[in-house]
Amino acid sequence: MTTPAGVAERLTSLVGALRAHGIRIGTGETVDAARAVEALGLADRELLREGLAATLLHGTGGRQVFDPVFDLYFPRGVGDPEQKAAGRDELRDRLAAALAADDQALLGRLAVEAVDGFGGYGCAPESDGWSSYQTLERLRPQTLLARVRDDMRGRGGSPGFADRLLEDEIRRRIESFRALVAAEARRRVAERRGRREIARRAVAPTADQVDFLFAGQARLAELRRTVQPLARKLATRLAARRRRASRGTIDLRRTLRGSLSTGGVPMKPVLRRRRPARPELVLLCDVSGSVSGFSDFTMLLVQALHDQFSKVRVFAFVNRIDEVTGLLRHGTADPEGLGARIEAEATLTGWHGSSDYGMALGEFAERYGDAVGPRTTVFVLGDARTNMSDPNLPAVRQIAEQARRVYWLNPEQRSRWGTGDSAAPAYAELVEMHECRTARQLSALVGRLLPV
């Protein structure tokens, strides 16, 4: 291998950082990556990026982590930019021009200059930090929208139909410039504090590792888009398990019976036939504010998996419970508005708006008790925070007795169960309770727990 020693070292630490983010990379791939570096050379950074991604990653999932980590280990430049930024207005002028031309390379250079000029904070030169927030706050690229639009209209000549798309396009360009600034600020900080530390802290986790309870709107939307692929993945796993399970053992009695015609020589082994299992699923979802992201996601996932079950019924509650199976069915096209639709069309709250598990579970046992039978697996989704009201354990006990299995998926960290108004330990004594904080955990649990 003729890879320069420095590059080999950098490559292995890049791999280390990626592994720390849960991307599985073997030694073989690292060697391939080194060969790729050798074949491509170091001259073109973007080619190198693609080459390393092709050799190190095995799917699309890791790309979001890979790109920022790559930016840290193979930075665009080192140290300060050669050209010092002039004034804020001058930089804004050039930024507007670059946005109008959609010149990616130029935008990249401007991001470097912008962070250098406006991103530094701290007084002593040694304590300097770099902030993308501060840079963007000073530069305010979003306010350039109107200017860029007028500029482009002015040059574009005849206002055609596509003209009405202009604003959205410019908005997307500005958004990508903001991302460039963030990457540059991370790089500057990393130079000072050590790459490993920044790579660990500053790179956002992949969508399936985001904590349901702390995910913002954008992250939740992103998460919802992963529902379909995840469901497909789980469906394959379930189908494979079902296929294996249907291969039964040999039915000795019927084999011998069949062998009578061949003089007692068992020519054809007869396999024991399984009763076709028809798993039914009932979902009880807490959709109150704090855990609604988790419930939404799980409901969509189960809905996407519906052809794996003979029957799926979904109930939502805050402090009263109502069936929402129908809402979910024709709602597959619009996962975004699911929460709002459930809130609008189902009766979920009584006299007050905070969640009450005891009340809701009691009402379920009373009104929909017949939904649960010996073939039913029940999933309860929620954090088991009862707002100090009665947890109504008998109701849960009754459901558990009727159902085949009851699992409780709790989006809260296990160490917080039982703190404050959480009735989790009490419920956990009656039914199996699992911690389920991220989509990754959820898919592992669903794959393991679903009846087949």
Q: Which positions touch other proteins (CB under 8 A)?
A: 24, 26, 28-29, 32, 35-36, 39-40, 44, 46-47, 50-51, 53-55, 57-60, 63, 102, 160-162, 164-165, 168-169, 172, 229, 232-233, 236, 240, 333, 336
* 20-23 own/partner pairs: CB under 8 Å, 24+ apart: 20/199, 20/200, 21/65, 21/69, 21/203, 21/205, 21/206, 22/206, 22/209, 23/56, 23/57, 23/62, 23/65, 23/66
Supply 39's token pair: 């074949």
Smallest separation (angstroms) from other proteins to the CB of 168:
6
Smallest separation (angstroms) from other proteins to the CB of 241:
12
Give SS3 for 273: coil
- Of residues 165 and 204, the one with the C-beta less far from other proteins: 165
User: How many distinct helices (H) and strands (E) make up the chain?
Assistant: 20, 8
- Of residues 59 and 87, the one with the C-beta less far from other proteins: 59
- Of residues 160 and 264, the one with the C-beta less far from other proteins: 160
Q: How many CA atoms lie within 13 A of 172 on its CB side?
A: 7
- Of residues 67 and 128, the one with the C-beta less far from other proteins: 67
Smallest separation (angstroms) from other proteins to the CB of 46:
6
- Of residues 152 and 426, the one with the C-beta less far from other proteins: 152
- Of residues 27 and 415, the one with the C-beta less far from other proteins: 27
Supply 45's token pair: 């950074």
Smallest separation (angstroms) from other proteins to the CB of 36:
5
Smallest separation (angstroms) from other proteins to the CB of 347:
28
The residues pairing with 129 across neighbouring beta strands, listed in sequence order, are 121
- Of residues 162 and 260, the one with the C-beta less far from other proteins: 162
Smallest separation (angstroms) from other proteins to the CB of 161:
4
Burial of 295 (0-12, 13-18, 19+ CB in 10 A): buried
How many CB atoms within 10 Å of residue 85?
Answer: 17
Smallest separation (angstroms) from other proteins to the CB of 235:
9
**Cβ(57)–Cβ(139) below 8 Å:** no
